[in-house]
Amino acid sequence: MLWATVVSIVVLCLAQGYDGQTVDTRRLPVNTEPRSYALRLEPNLEPENASFAGSVDITVAVMTATSTITLNSKDLVLHDIRVTDENTDRDISVNSWSYAEDREQVVISMDGHVLANRRYTIRIRFEGILRDDGMGFFKSGYETDSDGKKWIAATQFQTTQARSTFPCYDEPNFRTPFNISIKVKENEIALSNMPVIDTIHVDEILANGSVEYHSRKWVHFAQTPCMSTSSVAFFVGEFEKFDNTRLSATNVYSHLGRLYQIEYTTKAAPDILRVMENYTGIPYAMPELNLLAMPILGLEQVENNWGLTTFREKTLFVDMKTNSRAIMSAKTAVGHAVATQWFGNLVTPAQWDFAWLNKGLATYLEYFATATLEPEWRLEHFFIVDQQRLALDDDKNQMRPLSAPAIKPGDADYYTADRLSGQKAAAIMMMLNDWVGEETFKKSINLYLTHNQYTAVKPEKLWNAFDNALFDLTKSGLNGNSVRTMMNTWTEQAGYPVVNVIKKDKSLVLTQQRFLSGFSESNDTSKWFIRLSYTTNKEKNFDTKSAPTVWLNPSVNETVIPIDDDVEWYIFNIQSTGFYRVNYTEDNWLSLIKQLNDSPKEVHILNRAQLIDDSFSLAKAGLLNYKIPMSFTQYLEKEDDIIPWFSAMNSLNYVLNRMRRCRNALPDVKAVVSNLASTAFKMFNKLVAEQKNPQYPINIGWNTFATWACKLDEYIIYRTTTVPEYFRRWKNGEEIPADIKDAAFCVGARQSQVSGSLDKLLQLYNTTKTYSERASVINALPCADIQTLLTYLILIMEDKCPIEPSDYEDFFNALSSTSNGITAMNYFLGKYFTDLVKNVKNGRNIATTIFSILATKVSTESEIENIMEMAFRSNTPIEYKNTLVPVYRREIENNVKWYENGSPEAIWEYINPLSKGLALDPSHQYTTPQSTSEDDSSASSRLHNYAIILQILALSVSVKLLVHVI
């Protein structure tokens, strides 16, 4: 392991600084820059006085003479500010300091000037409150088996939360070394980015004047490399380190009694660190890497700091009862944390506008680095499911580019917390890898890190590394253009393209346009550089390295390639490596459907999934008749791979949710979809039975599709699956496989009226130490009846909900997977919205989370009316109207257009013949789909009225925001 010496740190720090010239009052002035920090903290973890006091010495270099120095500070009380000339040791008289709360800044005013090209030390004493929202410097409690509740304190500074713990230059372009010291109790440990170099035991004078000898200790840490404030981290608490016998720089910590659950990640971390070192060609830059399993964190599951990474316990804990998906998630989470040691810490974005530089590379490499260690997990395929396909949901007109300026301090947190930005950035990194090849990609990453380590960069530094690597290895560029020119079309434009392929005689005519869901009418003329790979029924060449390719250029309206006249079908985007969708003419779609029905395995797994996903998404956007994607589902009886089934499940769930508005047709649609879910479950149930030790993808498929079937249809469960027997065995005290518990517990939740079933599930939730078992209970609860779910939601108002607040988001997301759950949330939010926001702890966050979930789920008119009534209430906080109302306007418009475009009729045309004999109720009558009890014209008219009102309200909000900015 290698880490920078103090001399090299100082030299690199001196070379660092923000190169922008534009004055922006939301950013710190450029008249001074930090050169080092000495930070001393004294946290008090007692719950009745959870606070901290501290002091910071900031050595600054003055770039231009000034009588004021501006720092970031938020929610701190500052004392005794001193400014001292470093050369003469003379104090510069501080006249006053004032707070600019809207900019989260403090302005220090002096009687005289500090002079250019000199150094000064700013000394500030401060105090603050330990937060309880998992952000900044926060406290968290956990229950022990014998000593009651214990308290810990930790940090989550990304992106702009360091300023709430100590005054600082809290912008990522300022990288400096830190000297950190923390005073803690004798029975507590303190951790930070660097190893402990000294511990000094001190006496504590109590309030009554008595002395507790050696009851406290100052823990001093080694000086850090040059880093930004967002990388700073520390922890205080009674945690223990897992005793790892391997000689490694990685350590994993948890509280006593749970150490056995971190053994798995303790063994995994050193291997992943070694893989990352080999992949990047850059040794890990710190002496050690400490991983902490925390009871709670803020927005993110993981806080990726340099040398000290904190996880939520449920992310990291693994034991004998943990299911396969949770084990996979634990290892990839460690992979992500390790990757950020290079991407985000060794190299930092110069502005939070470019946070995707961190998240994209780290997310991409977490899968492909972990895949090196676990090849049988097929993580390169799960990347498509978990990241790329979710990123392709970024298909709405309002979505922002990856590189987008923040408009106020808090927005930086929004950008980094926005999962889509990381998913999209990771997806385009995979695409770039496909363009240049693995060898060039790795060489580019090495050049990027080598030339920019310990600095803050803009995206062009990454693209320049690729251009240089291409020149070194191939003596040429990429398609006659620089990588920067080509990739800017992907990072500086919102959305992504759909490629249209039309056959004319012996040619294929290729065009592109921005893909927008929801029948959006847009004049968007965005175009991208796209490298298209393709094959036909003649070659069936699905090798990404040898399949033919063609480039689309933004300046060219259409590209023509020759093709044999007798070609029956063609597929573009081999193995789905490109970040775009593809649309064909109907005859090619039908030929592809025939191919999958006749011999699906002649088409690559990822392209089978792509055809399902693309066709459903195109139909959703009004670009394709629903008979095409629905027809693709016919071949699924022959599909035995998890990836295409994932695409089918996600797409069919959207259809089923939308069809809730068509009451007459819904039972038949549900019957057909339930039958497909049963087919998937039986397929994977058979694979599990046939294999002694099934591989993780098979176990994950068994879990996923058993749960899907159980949530859809009780009739299907009891007629076609063995899941009820698993629940009976579990209820009688027998241990059942971890990967069937979600489905088995759903059966139990459906029996909520049966004495003891639901109580037994909640008892397990409250007593188990296995987080995946807790998650299984949460995922099963939406199978209960509406009244039960509504009762749980109402109990939130009294802080008596059986689900813990830290699991609320998971609970709400789980509820959105069933119509009962959606109905219960909609009613709850409509009735209790005002009281929830005003009177419940974290009520605003709860309301926002439910709002955002319902935005994409409400389908019936009563649900939409309920949401809209909330939006127009006079007592609805303005921030909800500013941020959530525009989202609902777009969703309502999309809802209306989906029905108007004839989507329900097209689905019905396919479903009606198939549903015969599948309906749950044998007496069910098959009738043409009706939207609701009122006629369609009345329904559409009412929804149009809501959309118009929302447009006016959104315009009013926009004008207010514009006036505020000006």
pLDDT, tens digit, for every residue of 607-620?
Answer: 999 999 999 999 99
Q: How many residues does the chain have?
A: 966
| Same domain flag for 417 and 552 | no
pLDDT score for 17: 41
Q: Which domain holds residue 508?
A: 497-604
Give the domain-ending residue among 552, 583, 604.
Answer: 604
For residue 407, give the nearest of 367, 368, 353, 453 by alpha carbon.
Answer: 353
| Same domain flag for 412 and 560 | no
Distance CA 428, CA 431 (A): 5
Residues 6+ apart with CB under 8 A from 729: 736
Distance CA 485, CA 493 (A): 12
Range with lowest mean pLDDT among 539-553, 745-759, 812-826: 745-759
- Whether residue 10 has pLDDT greater than 90: no
Residues 6+ apart with CB under 8 A from 24: none
pLDDT score for 400: 82
Residues 6+ apart with CB under 8 A from 613: 389, 392, 647, 650, 651
| Same domain flag for 360 and 444 | yes
| Same domain flag for 531 and 568 | yes
| Same domain flag for 364 and 426 | yes
**Cα angle 947, 950, 956; round to 5:** 150
| Same domain flag for 397 and 425 | yes
Q: Residue 380: inside a domain, yes or no?
A: yes
Distance CA 50, CA 43 (A): 8
Q: Residue 478: inside a domain, yes or no?
A: yes
The CATH number covering residue 422 comes to: 1.10.390.10
Q: How many distinct structural domains can be found in the chain? A: 3
* Residue 368 contacts residue 378 (beta carbons within 8 Å): no
Beta strand pairing call for 507-514 and 347-349 = unpaired
pLDDT score for 957: 38
What mean pLDDT do residues 780-785 have?
Answer: 95
| Same domain flag for 191 and 81 | yes
Binding-site residue set for Zn(2+)? 336
pLDDT digits (tens, 9 = 90+) for 42-93: 999 998 899 999 999 999 999 999 999 999 999 999 999 999 999 999 999 9
| Same domain flag for 416 and 546 | no
Show the tokens assigned to 703.
């879990």
Distance CA 90, CA 812 (A): 59
* Residue 783 contacts residue 746 (beta carbons within 8 Å): yes
- Whether residue 370 has pLDDT greater than 80: yes
- Virtual CA dihedral for 931, 935, 938, 941, nearest 10 degrees? 40
pLDDT score for 138: 94
Helical axes 741-750 vs 757-767, angle rounded to 10°: 140
Range with lowest mean pLDDT among 25-29, 520-524, 725-729, 798-802: 520-524
Distance CA 333, CA 297 (A): 14
Q: In which residue are the tokens 């103090």 written?
A: 6
**Cα angle 484, 485, 487; round to 5:** 65
Show the tokens assigned to 607.
């392209």
Highest mean pLDDT among 297-301, 338-342, 754-758: 338-342
Beta strand pairing call for 559-562 and 91-92 = unpaired
- Virtual CA dihedral for 955, 957, 959, 965, nearest 10 degrees? -150
| Same domain flag for 84 and 112 | yes
pLDDT digits (tens, 9 = 90+) for 805-817: 989 999 999 999 9
The CATH number covering residue 46 comes to: 2.60.40.1730
Phi, then psi, of 321 in degrees rounded to 5? -100, 5
Give the domain-ending residue among 447, 474, 491.
Answer: 491
- Whether residue 433 has pLDDT greater than 90: yes
What mean pLDDT do residues 778-782 have?
Answer: 97
Confidence of residue 408 (pLDDT cuts 50, 70, 90): low
* Residue 809 contacts residue 852 (beta carbons within 8 Å): no
* Residue 672 contacts residue 917 (beta carbons within 8 Å): no
| Same domain flag for 19 and 126 | yes
Binding-site residue set? 336
- Whether residue 414 has pLDDT greater than 70: no
What mean pLDDT do residues 561-575 have?
Answer: 96
pLDDT score for 899: 82
Q: In which residue are the tokens 């108002």 written?
A: 797
Q: Residue 641: inside a domain, yes or no?
A: no
Phi, then psi, of 393 in degrees rounded to 5? -75, -10
Q: Residue 850: inside a domain, yes or no?
A: no
Distance CA 405, CA 415 (A): 9
SS3 281: coil
| Same domain flag for 417 and 521 | no
Confidence of residue 296 (pLDDT cuts 50, 70, 90): confident
Average pLDDT over the chain, rounded to whole? Answer: 88
What Cα–Cα distance (Å) separates residue 392 from each residue in 344, 396, 515? 24, 10, 10
- Whether residue 674 has pLDDT greater than 70: yes
Q: Residue 297: inside a domain, yes or no?
A: no
Give the domain-ending residue among 544, 576, 604.
Answer: 604
What mean pLDDT do residues 132-141 have?
Answer: 91
Q: Residue 198: inside a domain, yes or no?
A: yes
| Same domain flag for 170 and 40 | yes
SS3 341: coil
What mean pLDDT do residues 3-30 have?
Answer: 51
> DSSP secondary structure string, 556-605?
-S-EEEE--TT---EEESGGG-SSSEEEE-HHHHHHHHHHHHH-GGGS-H
Q: Residue 717: inside a domain, yes or no?
A: no
Cα 321 to the center of its chain, rounded Å: 26
pLDDT score for 578: 98
More confident residue, 260 or 886: 260
pLDDT score for 881: 67
> For residue 640, how many other CB atoms are within 10 A of its CB?
17
Helix (H) or strand (E) holding 614: helix 605-620
Distance CA 767, CA 883 (A): 39
pLDDT digits (tens, 9 = 90+) for 579-594: 999 999 999 999 999 9
Confidence of residue 924 (pLDDT cuts 50, 70, 90): very low
> For residue 893, how many other CB atoms are within 10 A of its CB?
20
Return the amino acid letter for 922.
P
CA-based R_g, the chain, Å: 29
Q: Residue 529: inside a domain, yes or no?
A: yes
- Whether residue 455 has pLDDT greater than 90: yes
Range with lowest mean pLDDT among 70-84, 513-527, 648-662: 513-527
For residue 757, give the nearest of 792, 791, 738, 783 by alpha carbon.
Answer: 783
Helix (H) or strand (E) holding 727: helix 723-731
